[in-house]
Structure 1
Amino acid sequence: MFRRSAATRKKYIEKGFGVVSPSRREGKLAGSARVRALSPRTPELLGARIRKARLAAGLSLAAVAQTDFSRAYLNQIELGRARPSTRILQVISERLRRPIEYFLQDPQNSILAVEFVLTEARTRLRQGDAAGVQTMVTGLLARPHLPLEVKCRARLSLAEALLNLRSIPEAIDLLRATIRDTETNGWRILTVELYDKMGSAYYLRRQPHEAGRWWDKALSLYEDANVNDPVLKARILGHRANVHYVAGQPREAIAGYEAAIEAAEAVLDMKQLGGIYEGLAMAFDRAGDLTRALEYAQRSLRLFETLNDVRMSAQLRNNMAEILLHQGQPIEAEALFLTGAEQLQRVGDKDLYPHLMAGAAEAAFDQGNHELAKTRIALALARAKASNDPLARFAAFRIAGRIAHADGRPDD
């Protein structure tokens, strides 16, 4: 891995390379508006407040800077000769035990306060805190005098949070209104992201044809606008591959997933790459290439376990176990089903658990242990009643029917 020295890291952060503003994508469209919104006195006021808080805490420049940035850089900030990035201001606020709003000239609407909320929202979305993001961004949108471009970016984060909370109709309404604003103002890259998110909304609504239409629009606008954002392109390509998969076109899905990896493998984060590997695993499984399916499922599992994503790890164990059952390896499949079920039990998951327990019942049945299979399928059926996933009930009933038929109870 490429590593930087401590001194290089300081310079890297101080020059702002460690924080990429989303507005950079719009050709500095929003950036110029933000600069105009800041008072010429902003750096001096900000620096004075940081100095006052540092002296009140009895801390030296070195104690606040530590290894994140230099003492000289912090001194320049306090003198009003340098403006910290959102990340550096967050570090300073933590070291001085003051809320970040304390240092901003207008806690409600200063650009630093707004950017901090948007950055924090994106971080929490990656961490899975959709409810927290909903509260945070709703509060931001209630503030007066926000620029429309900022509102649109905030709505995009709010829509993603709503999708994660399965408030799909509400998310679709919000996305439609936001798309009208971005299309009217010509914010093409932001519009691409909104099209992509709208596709995800319809995909979650189990309307793959409509989802595919939005993803086609996203890719078309991406190419027309001559955008250079490989991560965004890979995400859209991966989503379009999902549509091929659910349409029963595994070879087309495989080509789509491979195109997504080719577009951005070097810059995709682990979660995105893990999701594409999962898609490849399912597509190869459907295409009958079980060896490649297991290979990609294992790659994906390693990434999601590194991320401590319990639900995705359990989902991948379920997928791998089903492949092993198809290959006539019920003992190995049973171990994966049970490990995944145990993981979900610890975090209180209700939707995926019935799938894994039903799979464990089928694995026991295939080994000839019908009594254990009955016990497990009874548990799967009970948990399926509390699940919000209709497919969980279908999976449990399918295996329950197989067990009942073997027992001479076909009507059950």
Structure 2
Amino acid sequence: MLGPKIREIREQLGLSQKQLAGEDMTRSYISLIEKGRAVPSQRMLKIIAKRLNTPMEYFLGESTATDTDIGEAVLDKAKLYYKERNDRACIRMAHNVLTLTKDVLDQTEAYLLIMRSYNRLGEYRQALDNGEAAAFIVTRTGDRERIVQYYLEMGRAAFHSELFHAARKFYEQAYTYSSRLKYLQDEHIRALIYLGTTHLRLGNVDQGLEFYLKAEKEARMAGQPELYGEITLGLGKAYYMSEQDGHMQLSYDWTKKSVDSYKLARSESYVLALHNLAVIQLHMGQKKEALPLLGECAGIYDERNLPHKKASILEEISKIYLEERELQQAETVIKEALQLLELRDEGVLRAKLYRLLGLVFHEKDNSDEGYYFLRMSHDLLKRIHAEREADISHQILQLSKQKQKMEYDDYKSYIR
């Protein structure tokens, strides 16, 4: 049997299970192989054989499974489809791999392709379902790189499904498995970024800021302007959400760094930093500077068919109308934004638009309709565990009960 052969040679060479595992596998995975409870993939067996200075043929004996060769050929085809962005064909081909081979590494690669394709298609629940089916197989590989990639994809699918607590747990796993491994440094930094973003969505601003600062420290000397742009964009958001003195200026400074980094990288994400910079300028009273930037961002979102991002621009415009007491224009813009979310929904943004609509109705002396939309905002935010935003909606709800008619000065501090 394979396991006893590996153990015998390992012990003859005086190697521990941890030494044999190295950075490619875990000690517990080697233990499972030696006990016959796990079967290494061809790739892992090659690594083991090399470290034991023993030909692979000694471990394989006379039998070599032809299904491995067939499975690898189909897997190569699936990878080609993914590279060509033909996600439907990639998913079909990758599912074929699962039926053609029992090689756990090939099966893991197939599942990762399926998850990535569904995530790229925006079908996040399908990505989660397939990821859950893959969990046992992926962890059996003992391959940390694949395990980290798996948890990052699961985190992405959960985050975009607005399952923020689940996303946080997946990103924590990716962070743990990638720790202290130089060849997984990029994945480790990304896990930190995504943990920061998830904590912001959960309303844990201080924790989010902490993760972003760790990521910035690790990425500072990496020489990757796009990655650095993503981190500094997150830092700008975190400082914007913080209520401490001086943090608004820090928000502006970090976001400006993000704009510059994305511009240097010629990244499409440049528009996201520009959008955030405009929002910060509005809050700092720099309306003249902010409005042209918002217009530029809206045009780019239209070109790229990103209705939820265009809706976010309209959210900011509606706040300006509210401030200027142009209530009918504010209502019109909010309803236009909600129509855009019918094309691509985003729960937090929808709830914030409900909140703004509730405020408009209150100022128009329609307190019943106003309360209805404020309640819808609060309930939706609670349902998706966006606690910080839910608390804001709750505070405004309480305020609406105390006054028959709310005015801008009553709630302006809540809706920045």
Are residue 236 (structure 1) and residue 231 (structure 2) matched? yes
Q: Which amino acid aligns with 2:251?
A: A
Query: C-alpha displacement at 1:241, in angstroms?
Result: 0.9
The answer for the alignment partner of 1:264 in structure 2 is 262
Question: Residues 294-338 of structure 1, C-alpha deviation per residue, up to 9 Å, x if partnerless?
Answer: 223333333334444444332321111102332454444332112
Instruction: Answer whether contact 1:284 1:292 (CA < 8 A) is retained.
Output: yes
Matching residue within 267, 283, 287 for 2:284: 287
Which one is further off, 153-162 or 242-251?
A: 242-251
Q: Does 1:87 align with 2:91?
A: no
2:275 aligned residue (272, 278, 296): 278
Relative to structure 1, the CA distance from residue 323 to residue 361 in structure 2 (aligned partners, 3 Å threshold; closer, same or farther) is same
**Partner of residue 145, structure 2:** 149
Contact 2:111 2:130 in 1 (8 A): yes
Query: Which residue number in structure 2 is paired with residue 20 of structure 1?
Result: none
Question: Does structure 1 residue 132 correspond to structure 2 residue 112?
Answer: no
Find the counterpart in structure 2 of residue 175 from structure 1. Answer: 171
Q: Is the 8 A contact 1:250 1:284 kept in 2?
A: no
Asked if 2 retains the 8 angstrom alpha-carbon contact of 1:358 and 1:396, the reply is no
SS at match of 1:159: helix
Q: Please give the alpha-carbon distance, in whole angstroms, between the structure 2 residues aligned to 1:47 and 1:177.
A: 28
Q: Are the equivalent residues in 1 in contact too, given 2:68–2:102 (CA < 8 A)?
A: no
> Where do residues 389-400 of structure 1 align in structure 2 (5 Å cutoff)?
389=382, 390=390, 391-395=392-396
- RMSD of the TM alignment (CA)? 4.2
- Is contact 2:67–2:100 with CA below 8 Å preserved after alignment? no
Offset at 1:86?
0.7
CA shift for structure 1 position 94: 6.9
Q: Distance in 2 between matches of 1:93 and 1:387?
A: 32
Give secondary structure in 2 for the equivalent of 1:210.
helix
Give the aligned length: 338
Distance in 2 (CA, whole Å) between partners of 1:188 and 1:317 is 38
Cα distance in structure 2, aligned partners of 1:296 and 1:331? 24
Q: 2:204 aligns with which of 199, 207, 212?
A: 207
1:247 aligns to 2:278 (yes or no) = no
Rounded to whole Å, the distance in 2 between the matches of 1:96 and 1:155 is 20
1:196 equivalent among 167, 176, 193? 193
- SS of residue paired to 2:237: helix
Q: CA deviation at 1:269?
A: 5.5
Please give the residue correspondences for 1:8-407 in structure 2 after superposition, counting only pairs within 5 Å.
45=70, 86-88=79-81, 99-102=93-96, 107-109=101-103, 114-143=108-137, 144-145=140-141, 147-186=143-182, 187-223=184-220, 226-248=221-243, 249-265=247-263, 267=265, 270=268, 272-344=269-341, 352-353=349-350, 355-360=352-357, 362-363=359-360, 370=365, 373-374=366-367, 376-384=369-377, 386-389=379-382, 390=390, 391-395=392-396, 404=405
Cα gap change, 1:385 to 1:102, in 2 (>3 Å):
closer
Q: Deviations over 1:363-383 (max 9, x none)?
A: 5776xx54xx44642541452
* CA pair 262-98 structure 1, distance change in 2 beyond 3 A: closer
Residues 184 and 257 (structure 1 numbering): CA distance in 2 closer, same or farther, change over 3 Å? closer
CA distance in 2, matches of 1:96, 1:293: 43
The higher-RCO structure (CA 8 Å, 6+ apart) is 2
| CA pair 303-141 structure 1, distance change in 2 beyond 3 A | farther
Change (3 A) 1:157 1:97: closer
In structure 2, what residue type is equivalent to 1:193? R
- Distance in 2 between residues matched to 1:253 and 1:149, nearest whole Å: 34
Once residues 266 and 40 of structure 1 are traced to their aligned partners in structure 2, the CA distance between those partners, rounded to angstroms, is 50
Shift in Å, 1:188:
1.8
Distance (whole Å) between structure 2 residues aligned to residue 279 and residue 49 of structure 1: 44
Question: In structure 2, how many angstroms separate the alpha carbons of the residues matched to 1:349 and 1:181?
Answer: 30
What letter is aligned with 1:129? E
Structure-2 separation of matches of 1:96 and 1:84: 8
Q: Is the 8 A contact 1:121 1:157 kept in 2?
A: yes
Separation in structure 2 between the aligned mates of residue 233 and residue 352 of structure 1, nearest angstrom: 26
What secondary structure does 2:288 align onto? helix
* TM-score (ref. length: structure 1): 0.66
Q: Classify 1:347/1:182 alpha carbon distance in 2 versus 1 (closer, same or farther; 3 Å).
A: closer
- Give the drift of 1:117: 3.4
Cα offset, 1:135, TM superposition: 1.5
Deviation at 1:401, TM superposition (A): 6.2
Provide structure 1 residue ranges, at least 5 long, that are not aligned to the other structure.
1-28, 51-82, 407-412
Of all paired residues, the percent bearing the same amino acid is 10
Q: Give CA deviations for 1:182-217 in whole Å, capped at 9, x if unaligned.
A: 224443222111111222222222222221111111
Q: Please list every run of 5 or more consecutive structure 2 residues that lacks an aligned counterpart in the other structure.
A: 1-23, 26-41, 48-55, 57-63, 383-389, 408-416
Cα separation, partners in 2 of 1:154 and 1:109, compared to 1, 3 Å: farther
Residues 1:260 and 1:97: Cα distance change in structure 2 (over 3 Å): closer
How big is the shift at 1:235? 0.8
Letter in 2 for 1:208: V
Task: Report the Cα distance in structure 1 between the residues aligned to 2:88 and 2:111, rounded to whole angstroms.
Answer: 15
Does the CA contact (< 8 Å) of 1:107 and 1:113 recur in 2? yes
Amino acid at match of 1:263: S
Q: Judge conservation of contact 1:198–1:214 (CA < 8 Å) in 2.
A: yes
Name the TM-score, length of structure 2 as normaliser. 0.65
Alpha-carbon distance between aligned partners in 2 of 1:34 and 1:230, rounded to the nearest angstrom: 34
Alpha carbons of 1:120 and 1:176: their partners in 2 closer, same or farther (altered >3 Å)? same
Tell me how far apart the structure 1 counterparts of residues 94 and 198 of structure 2 sit (CA, whole Å). Answer: 34
8 Å CA contact 2:97, 2:107 repeated in 1: no
Please say which of residues 171-180 and 102-111 is displaced more in the overlay: 102-111
